[in-house]
Amino acid sequence: MAQPTLYFIRHGETDWNAVSRLQGQRDVPLNDRGRSQARHCAGVLSDLLAREARNASDFDFIASPLSRARETMELMRSGLGLAPDGYRTDGRLAELSFGEWEGSTYADLRRTPTGPRRLAERERDKWNFVPPRGESYAQLLVRVGAWYAGLEADAIVVAHGGVARTLFVLFGMLKPDVAPVHDVDQGVVYLLAPGIMAKHG
């Protein structure tokens, strides 16, 4: 079959997003703005599916297992008139791990003994940099790529900014040196397929 098309949604905002605190795989819930963004995405997605004359039942629904992604998915499905729990999760869609840096802001890290040196290393090669006990974007691409390779149908996916950046590379839309600094918005729907990246919001 042709390579699957994705409608990709980054989870809604959390309080940690609002203050630029590194979340990684910490299980931080949505805030009220994030819930509103999830509901907005339901409307955007409904319009997109109508425009393409497709039904939601044509798609596999998959989310990261982290609660901010699951709640986004459930609010979005409810907005589409679907059963909130009618989706599956896949651990390979969990966010990039920041390891020991999770819970900190970059300002916090700059005040630690080793932070300035490690942040300088990160600036030189954000794609391959591994935070202490964390993982790099290059490593994240391996698990996200394995997940995508196993897809058997077009999918509606709720996951994270880091996951989106690796998909942009996987689909040939961004180079690895650019992807880590590419903004991934909340409250919008990305149409992703090999050679295609479009944002709707």
Number of structural domains the chain divides into? 1
Average pLDDT score over the chain? 96
pLDDT at residue 1 in the model: 55
User: What span, in angstroms and rounded, lies between the C-alpha atoms of 6 and 160?
Assistant: 14
CATH number at residue 142: 3.40.50.1240
Q: What is the mean pLDDT of residues 19-32?
A: 97
Domain membership of residue 158 (yes or no) is: yes
* DSSP three-state, residue 26: coil
Domain membership of residue 17 (yes or no) is: yes
pLDDT at residue 194 in the model: 83
pLDDT at residue 165 in the model: 98
Write the pLDDT tens digit of every residue in 61-81. 999 999 999 999 999 999 999
Find the helix or strand (DSSP H, E) in which 193 lies: strand 189-193
User: What span, in angstroms and rounded, lies between the C-alpha atoms of 129 and 127?
Assistant: 6
- Are the C-beta atoms of residues 159 and 8 closer than 8 Å to each other? yes
pLDDT at residue 108 in the model: 97
Domain membership of residue 178 (yes or no) is: yes
Domain membership of residue 1 (yes or no) is: no
Place of tokens 């990039």: 96
Going by pLDDT thresholds of 50, 70 and 90, the confidence category of residue 43 is very high
Domain membership of residue 60 (yes or no) is: yes
Task: Centre a 10 Å sphere on the Cβ of residue 153 and count the other Cβ atoms it contains.
Answer: 10
Q: Quote the DSSP letter at residue 84.
A: T
pLDDT of residue 135 exceeding 70, the answer is yes
Write the pLDDT tens digit of every residue in 176-197. 999 999 999 999 999 998 888 9
Give the domain range for residue 100: 6-200
